[in-house]
Each structure stands twice: as C-alpha cells, then as structure tokens.
Amino acid sequence: MKSGEDVILRVVNLKKYFPLGGWFFKRRSGYVKAVDGVDLEIYRGETAALVGESGCGKTTLGRTILRLIEPTSGEIYFEGVNLLKLSKGEMRKMRMNMQLVQQDPQSALDPRMTVKASVGEPLVVHGIARGRELRRRVLHLLRRVGLGEEHMNRFPQEFSGGQRQRICIARALALNPKFIVLDEPTSSLDVSVQAQILNLLKDLQRDLGLTYLFISHNLSVVRYISDHVYVMYLGNIVEKAETREIFKNPLHPYTRTLFSAVPIPDPNLKRKRLSIKGEVPSAIDPPPGCRFHPRCPEAMEVCSRVKPELREVEPGHQVACHLYR
C-alpha cells in the first residue's frame, strides 16, 4: 500500500529468555524461550499485526521492542538507532517516539490519579507542559479521542472499559509518538465498543501518520486494521505477508489451521475445518527442529531435525516451513 520502503522499526534476531529458578538457594533450572530469534520490519505509516495463540510470546515481543523488558540478545533499530545501545537517559528521551497501549484498561490507569493527571503525566515527566498549558494540552488530547472537559477531573473507576481505553490512547498520544505498540487493545471490550476503538485508531493513524504494531489473536480485527501480518508460534515468526495475501493464501500449516478458524458470516458456506492436535508445547523446552512439527499435519522427517528459516516464497510473502523451498 502506501508503505514504500521507509522502515521505521527493524528488529534483528531478537531473543528473550526468562531464567527459571531463583537466586542463591535455588539452582537455575532452565529458560523460558519466550522470544527466540525474531526478525521484524515495520514500515512507516502502516499497521503490522502480530498474531498467534496465547502464550506464544506476542506480548513479550511487544514489550521487548519497547525495551520495557530487556532482551537477552538481538538488535532493535528505531529509525536507524539501535535502542539497545542507548543509555537509560537516552532511552527515556527515545520513549517520546514510541508508546504502548495495553490490553487491560482496568489496570492501565492509576486508580489514585485523575484523568488529567494520567494523561498529562508524559508531558510532566518530560517537562513539556505545566499548569494552564498542561490543562490545554490534556483537553486537546481528550477531545482527540472523543472525550471532553467534563471527564478531566474524574477517576478511572468512574469510566467504562471503552472510555478507559480512550484515556489510555490519549496518554499514549501525549508525546506525539511515531510508533505505538497496541497490545490487544480491544480484546477486553464489547464488540460494539471494539469497533469504535478500532475506528478511532484508524482515524488517528490517518491524521497523525502513526505506525502501529497491532498484537492480537482476533483475526477479524487483524484483517480489518492491518497492512502486514506476522504469524508467531512459540517464540518464532513462522509467516509474514501482506494482509490480503495471507488471508487469501496462507502457506504455513499453522497459519492455515489458524485462519480456518475465522468464522465467516455465511451459513451456507461449507468449508473444511482444519484442526491440529494437542497443546502448544512448553516454551521451556521447545521441540527441536521446527517448533510446530509435533502438531503439524504435514510433518516430514526433516522437520524434527532442522529448524526452517524464514524464506521468501512469493514476493513479499515469507514463510518458515520445509514444505516450501
């Protein structure tokens, strides 16, 4: 689409291992490989969606990109700057460019702060505005997300879920960021409210030229909002393509089963339901070779030995699977 070649965020071989077991008395018994060698490229002005089932590491990846979780290894370039090389102070400045909207607006707002204080906090922290100016800016932000003056001095617990999410979005916008990680921003909301929030996000993107990383497991939402889709399974990206392409032509067996689960609003349409057996294997001790092979309906001998690399099979369509080479 409009993306062009301008890469705003590039992630190279990012890994995050959480050590298991504690300190001093207990021995370290292993690692949870939540993110295990992920490469991403997000273009300016687009929405990249990150999909996958619960526990596959989507959220950890989002947090790690923002350096809210320190990665174990890898590189993150934001507009060409390697975030992991920045000092604490430099990173704090850098945070003005990249923000987060969390999944649960219930806990995302400090219950002891008024909306004004919460939304204004970024401006206060960076010394951008105080007093009247702060008030003016907060009001502007609230109007931007469809709230008004009368909401400024209320506490979060006086609002509905959708309104709270609007407040969180206003806070994320306060510093005029270029890039926002949206971590399942609509999954805790009613369907009708979901649509409102999604439209708000789309409008904001259009008006402010934002770039989104949209983390979700809701494929209908992803189809509606995103330009590119990354499919994640157990800490790895298994497929990447443009949204239209991946919905039309999913290649990886995991993507195919995942996408066959999307309900289609047509009662007469018969289609083959693909299903996979078993549970997601534990990320503590992931299976060797392709991580999906124990559940894969098309597993071959090679899959249990060699880990497939992400490879371009069609222009712009990458997949990590031994079926395509």
The string of DSSP letters for 294-325 reads TT-TT--TGGGTSPPPPEEEETTEEE--TT--
* Number of neighbours of residue 125 by Cβ within 10 angstroms: 13
Which residue's CB is nearer to another protein, number 103 or number 243?
103
CB of 16 to another protein, least distance (A): 16
The footprint of another protein (CB under 8 A) covers 23-24, 63, 66, 68, 92-93, 95-96, 99-100, 102, 104-112, 114, 118, 121-122, 125-126, 131-132, 135-136, 149, 152-155, 157-158, 168, 171, 174-175
User: Rounded CA gap, 236 and 37, in Å?
Assistant: 7
Which residue's CB is nearer to another protein, number 28 or number 92?
92
Q: Buried b / exposed e across 39-65, counting CB within 10 Å, b at 16+? A: bbebbbbbbbbbbbeebbbbbbbbbbb
Which residue's CB is nearer to another protein, number 94 or number 195?
94
CB of 206 to another protein, least distance (A): 24
CB of 120 to another protein, least distance (A): 10
Q: Which residue has tokens 């809701």?
A: 218
CB of 187 to another protein, least distance (A): 14
What the block records as the tokens of 149 is 């003056």
Which residue's CB is nearer to another protein, number 52 or number 120?
120
Which residue's CB is nearer to another protein, number 135 or number 256?
135
Residue from 202, 162, 175 nearest 119 by CA: 175
SS3 call for 21:
coil
CB of 95 to another protein, least distance (A): 4
